Amino acid sequence: MELNGKPKSIGLDEDPDLQFLLRGGDLIKVKSNSWKKTRFLKLNEDCKTIYQSSSKAFKRESSFELAEIDSVRLGRQSEGLQKYTYSSIENRCFSIIFKGRRENLDLIASSDDEANCWVNSLEKVINRLHKLNRQQNSEHWIYECMRKADKNADNKMSLKELKHFLRQINIEVNDSYAETLFRKCDTSNSGTLEGSEIKLFYNLLTQRDEIDVIYDKYATSNGQMSRNDLLNFIQLEQREPVSLGYAEELIKKYEVDETAKQDKHMSKDGFLMYLNQEGTLLNPAHIDVYQDMQQPLNHYFISSSHNTYLMEDQLKGPSSTEAYIKALMKSCRCVELDIWDGANGEPVIYHGHTLTSKVPFKDVIKAIKDYAFKASPYPVILSLENHCSLEQQKIVAMHLTTILGSALLTQPLGQKMPTTFPGPEDLKGRFLIKGKRLNKLDAAFNNNTAEDVESVSEEDEAADLKEGEPTHKDSKKSKKIKLAKELSDLVVYCKSVHFTSFEQSRKKQAFYEMASFKEGKAMNLAEQSANAFIRHNIDKLSRIYPAGSRTDSSNYNPVPLWNAGCQIVALNFQTPCKEMDLNQARFLPNGKSGYILKPEFLRDPASQFDPINLRKGPWLQKKVLHIMVISAQQLPKINKNKEKSIVDPHVRVEIYGVPQDNASKQTHHIDNNGFNPMWNTNFQFTVNVPELALVRFVVEDYDAASKNDLIGLYTIPLTSMQNGYRHMPLLTKRGIIIPSAGLFVHVMLLDA
């Protein structure tokens, strides 16, 4: 096993694009009009990090991981490049966009071809890394740690280097254990490990005892699994109704030993490969769009963002087109635009009466047009919060119609007045405007009914002061707001109206008229009048938004509002938190399309469902969920700067659903082992309404003296989980996959 050869496992050896990145080159880094400096960038030998030279005396270089890159954009496709460069060099520019809050890297190459080369090569290597399976990721990671531990680069490992390596991979062993392990592998008694001895050490280290136990239980054919043994395992443990032919296909696909393959047997190595690849917790049938997308729009939960323009807090944080792009690329399907009069007759977007920065309205619409349908083809709702004068409202309408063109819905679908919403399928690739309208929708079909008014009552949150905002003389709540007909006419299926009561809505509200509720009011209704709220949401849309007092852009718990059938539960996408994690989990299945069909009992006009007072009904499908938390693999260090800092992990399993189903249970912690901790702890949960339940796995670094640190987490709808022995990836607080880490569990969901 060579420690200083080129890293194998990304499978692009001798590829010209990879060679281009490994050579690297000079680029101009752009930060402002006056800050444009030459930087040398290259891909490091590990094929996972990019080296970047720095001019700072104390920081001669810096590097970042390819895993941190969200996307690479050719051209002036970032706010920085649009502001600080000329359109004449459009094709020499490109941006590296990072996940999370790290600033974009805006760069200029020396020629169009070179910019193309950087973008194509980076995309190729990033895609390649995404395609590595769990096993390859794991090997790559361990291999890299070994290379780093080989301080003198002699391709050998001394005992000292071995101890350093073990600490690097997050495992603390006492000296005598390290020496025993070392002696066991040093078969030549040379005092160092090299070649086959390193391979032996690697095998001992990565041996998964828990997998051996499962394998040995089912391997009845001279210590190997026959195709029948494998079939037994899949049918009994994994609860998958498959045939013998399927078991044979798996042997062909994953078995590494040719003799075993000939005998239609699966060795331990093949079995581990199969479990790593096919043994995912998320049901593969739910990865793509699998639900009926023809139902009326209000029959779906819709992934929705609040104050979409903000990157940080609501008092002085920056507003940015980038915030819209990030939300849309997470499949958000309803974005909010707070529009105010701007200088030179051009409307701007920002958080009114605060110090948040302003961004031109037309720039936001251009960004939305470019990125709306990259992650999902299904319709995007633009929720307008209109504070503009009549003149600038007309400019808003003009930008919407000219920039969005035929993708903007300006008329109801069909030839006659609709009585219900179209479905997401019929609205693919379309934009819907949510806002005030001067007249009834019938006016679109019947020119005589156009009411001759130019103002509408304004008691909604739209131009209303948000709770907790400062009061200004010029911002007293007005009962009437002047509305430009040009803007009014663009509102088709999402006309904003004020909510008085469910009874009033039943009598007077048309299906296309929708109310917005502040979180406090919505939570009260969801607790005290849950069934009435559910029935309201069976033929209308409801939008919920966070209280204005959340100036730090924190979030409320969306689950009780989904339980009440609310479709547009808007959260601050810019804030990584448990609530945002639950939102991403709710929209994880169905192709991450941003639309999830509500359960039947939240769509049935006669539904008696009440999540607070559970009675008998089709929603009550009582299940017992058995979860055994078995082990974790290659958990990251929390404090990378302190080599000696090793994690003490424990795992918490949480259920979020109707109040009766909410629960949380936790394993013991394991001292000093983030590499392969093993808990083998069983939990049992009773779940009354499985269709609304989310299951959250949280791995933390236990600390007796202070708050536990998050190591990684994974959240998934209960109905998208597979039974049996399952691996799951782990994500950071910001929802980014930790490449080598994983959690191994056994799941069994049984009728109570």
pLDDT tens across 269-325, in order?
999 999 998 999 999 999 999 999 999 999 999 999 999 998 887 888 788 899 999
pLDDT of residue 548: 86
Within the chain, all domains assigned CATH 1.10.238.10 are found at: 135-206, 209-278
Instruction: Output the CA torsion 74→75→80→86 (10° steps).
Output: 160
Residue 468 binned pLDDT confidence (cut-offs 50, 70, 90): very low
Indicate whether 693 pLDDT > 50: yes
Catalytic residue (one of 140, 299, 351, 746):
351
Q: Which two tokens stand for residue 571?
A: 């959260």
Contacts with 516 (C-beta within 8 Å, 6 or more apart), sequence order: 460, 461, 462, 496, 499, 542, 543, 544, 545
H or E segment to which residue 383 belongs: strand 380-386
How many whole angstroms separate alpha carbon 665 and alpha carbon 528?
29
- Lay out the sheet containing 663-666: strands in order across: 663-666, 649-656, 694-701, 709-717, 724-731, 737-751, 623-633, 678-687
pLDDT of residue 7: 46
As a whole number, the mean pLDDT across the chain is 90
Only one residue has tokens 């960038």, namely 41
pLDDT of residue 473: 41
Contacts with 203 (C-beta within 8 Å, 6 or more apart), sequence order: none
Within the chain, all domains assigned CATH 2.60.40.150 are found at: 623-751
pLDDT of residue 164: 85
561-576 CB burial, b ≥16 within 10 A, e <16: bbbbbbbbbbbbbbbb
CATH 3.40.30.10 assigned to domain 16-131? The reply is no
Q: Please, which residues bridge with residue 701 across strands?
A: 649, 709
- Strand (E) positions, 537-674? 542-545, 568-571, 595-597, 623-633, 649-656, 663-666
pLDDT of residue 352: 84
Indicate whether 470 pLDDT > 50: no
Query: Which of 558, 660, 665, 678 has the alpha carbon at shortest distance from 612?
Result: 660
Q: Which two tokens stand for residue 479?
A: 């009962």
Indicate whether 472 pLDDT > 50: no
- Strand (E) positions, 590-693? 595-597, 623-633, 649-656, 663-666, 678-687
Rounded to an integer, the average pLDDT of 733-743 is 89
Rounded to an integer, the average pLDDT of 377-398 is 97
> What are the DSSP calls for 476-518, one per residue?
PPPSEEE--HHHHTTEEEEEE-----HHHHHHH--TTEEEEEE
Residue 30 binned pLDDT confidence (cut-offs 50, 70, 90): very high
Indicate whether 5 pLDDT > 80: no
Alpha helical stretches, state H, 220-308: 227-236, 244-254, 258-262, 268-278
pLDDT of residue 171: 82
How many whole angstroms separate alpha carbon 373 and alpha carbon 378?
7
Contacts with 575 (C-beta within 8 Å, 6 or more apart), sequence order: 552, 553, 554, 555
How many whole angstroms separate alpha carbon 534 and alpha carbon 603?
8
Binding residues for substrate: 29-56, 434, 436, 516, 543
Binding residues: 29-56, 307, 336, 338, 385, 434, 436, 516, 543, 646, 648, 672, 701-703
Indicate whether 447 pLDDT > 70: no
For the entire predicted model, the pTM comes to: 0.89
pLDDT of residue 136: 80
Query: Which of 138, 279, 258 has the alpha carbon at shortest distance from 207?
Result: 138
Q: Which two tokens stand for residue 480?
A: 């009437």
What is 135-206's CATH topology?
Answer: Recoverin; domain 1 (1.10.238)
Binding residues for Ca(2+): 307, 336, 338, 385, 646, 648, 672, 701-703
How many whole angstroms separate alpha carbon 98 and alpha carbon 105?
8
Under DSSP, the state recorded for 422 is: P
Only one residue has tokens 């709306």, namely 372
Q: How far is CA 603 from the centre of its chain?
A: 27
Q: Is 746 a catalytic residue?
A: no
What is 297-440+457-462+480-602's CATH topology?
Answer: TIM Barrel (3.20.20)
| Superfamily for domain range 209-278 | EF-hand (1.10.238.10)
Q: Is 351 a catalytic residue?
A: yes
pLDDT of residue 132: 80
Q: What is the per-residue pLDDT across 451-466, written as a single tens digit (0 to 9) for each?
A: 555 677 655 554 344 4
Number of alpha carbons in the 13 Å side-chain half-sphere of residue 170: 24
What is 623-751's CATH topology?
Answer: Immunoglobulin-like (2.60.40)
Contacts with 408 (C-beta within 8 Å, 6 or more apart), sequence order: 400, 401, 430, 431, 433, 490
Pairing type for strands 480-482 and 491-496 reads unpaired
To the nearest whole percent, how much of the chain has pLDDT over 70?
92
Q: What is the per-residue pLDDT across 193-220, written as a single tens digit (0 to 9) for each?
A: 988 888 888 888 888 999 999 999 999 9
Residue 412 binned pLDDT confidence (cut-offs 50, 70, 90): very high
Indicate whether 676 pLDDT > 80: yes
To the nearest whole percent, how much of the chain has pLDDT over 90?
70
Only one residue has tokens 């079939």, namely 231
Catalytic residue (one of 265, 299, 306, 650):
306
How many whole angstroms separate alpha carbon 318 and alpha carbon 31?
16
Pairing type for strands 359-360 and 25-30 reads unpaired
Q: What is the per-residue pLDDT across 78-123, written as a single tens digit (0 to 9) for each?
A: 989 999 999 999 999 999 999 877 889 999 999 999 999 999 999 9
- 623 touches 665 (CB < 8 A): no
How many whole angstroms separate alpha carbon 390 and alpha carbon 486?
10
Indicate whether 57 pLDDT > 90: no
How many whole angstroms separate alpha carbon 684 and alpha carbon 620?
18
Indicate whether 696 pLDDT > 70: yes
How many whole angstroms separate alpha carbon 6 and alpha carbon 140?
11
Number of alpha carbons in the 13 Å side-chain half-sphere of residue 256: 8
pLDDT of residue 427: 98
pLDDT of residue 195: 85
Pairing type for strands 568-571 and 542-545 reads parallel
Residue 162 binned pLDDT confidence (cut-offs 50, 70, 90): confident
Indicate whether 448 pLDDT > 90: no
Rounded to an integer, the average pLDDT of 701-723 is 95
Rounded to an integer, the average pLDDT of 671-680 is 93
pLDDT of residue 143: 80
Among the listed ranges 417-431, 545-559, 640-654, which one has the minimum average pLDDT value?
640-654
pLDDT of residue 458: 57
Indicate whether 56 pLDDT > 60: no
